[in-house]
Amino acid sequence: MNILVTGGAGFIASNVSDAFIAAGHHVIIVDNFSSGKQKNVNSKAKVYTMDIQDPAVENIFRDEKIEVMCHHAAQMDVRRSVSDPKFDASVNALGFLNLMEFGRNYGLKKVLFSSTGGAIYGEQDYFPADEQHPNRPLSPYGITKLLTEKYLFFYKEIYGIDHVILRYANIYGPRQNPHGEAGVVAIFSQKMLKGEQPIINGDGKQTRDYVFVGDVVQANLLGLNYQGSNIFNIGTGIETNVNQLFHHIKKLTGSNCEERHVPAKVGEQMRSVISSTKITEMLGWKPTVSLEEGLKRTVEFFRNK
């Protein structure tokens, strides 16, 4: 199968690309390398260094005969989306539409979309949130992710392009860049290994649902083979607060740093945790890597760097 992976030099998408290639698919990557790394790119993938907003993206769909698009390219910084919502929309909304308009004209059959659990649901009414939870995004980032989901429904109804929407929790693991909320694992690991002092925003009791990148890769493989269109949460259903995360990583790195706090970030969500019961029941997916094991693998990755 010819699969276009947008943002394929990035943390999650490069791991997904490796799995697609191992499964025998032909992977084409488009990435502007604003945050992605060349060293993440599989040597068997064909790479186009290009922004997803570039009209020349048409050439990729025309020449490569793309059947499936795995869309991970994004402006992924929640705080930047708040300070510059126009930029967030230009990448996450208009960039996506640029891809889809060419895709529908050149035979695109399916889209795998990396959406977001926490940022779409906002402050939760119940824990963990399932796919039926009200959508109340508190940031332009969450808004554009939700908007993209709505556009996917449009392209399914009007043009027959299937979609599998994966609403990620907070992904961590090898190759992670210290961007976005989930970047706290990379930030803490790097700083502690270098003997530097990490800081915790607020009281550190804010919780997130941390899922290992290897488990996310398996969800993408299942989504690739799923027949039809659907939305699935990808998370563990387990809340971990920042203080707990700090001490897990401190132990793994052997650091002697202090637990140091600074004032909380304005508007930061306090609790975020999602249920993956739906994809477990329908596709058999469930997280297999515990937080302790996942953090161990991640710290070793940064240690070896």
Q: Can you read off the two tokens belonging to residue 111?
A: 């889209």
Tell which CATH classification among 3.30.390.50, 3.40.50.720, 3.40.50.300, 3.40.50.970 matches the domain 2-169+210-234: 3.40.50.720
Predicted confidence band of residue 95 (pLDDT cuts 50, 70, 90): very high
Task: Determine phi and psi for 292, rounding to 5 degrees.
Answer: -60, -45
Instruction: State how far the alpha carbon of 16 is from the alpha carbons of 115, 180, 206, 209, in Å.
Output: 15, 19, 29, 20
DSSP state of 212: E
pLDDT value at residue 179: 59
How do residues 203-240 score in pLDDT, each as one tens digit?
999 999 999 999 999 999 999 999 999 999 999 999 99
The ranges assigned to domains in the chain are 2-169+210-234, 171-209+238-304
CATH assignment of 171-209+238-304, given 3.40.50.980, 3.40.50.300, 3.40.50.720, 3.90.25.10? 3.90.25.10
pLDDT in tens, 172-199: 999 998 755 558 999 999 999 999 999 9
Q: What is the mean pLDDT of the chain?
A: 96
Residue 112, class by beta-carbon neighbours within 10 Å (0-12 exposed, 13-18 middle, 19+ buried)? buried
Please state, for a pLDDT cut of 90, what percent of the chain lies above it: 94
Whose tokens are 């199968």? That residue is 1
Say what the pLDDT of residue 180 is.
52
Average pLDDT of the residues in 286-304: 97
Question: 47 forms bridges with which residues in the sheet?
Answer: 29
The catalytic residues are: 141
Element (H, E) at 234: strand 230-234
Asked if residue 23 has pLDDT above 60, the reply is yes
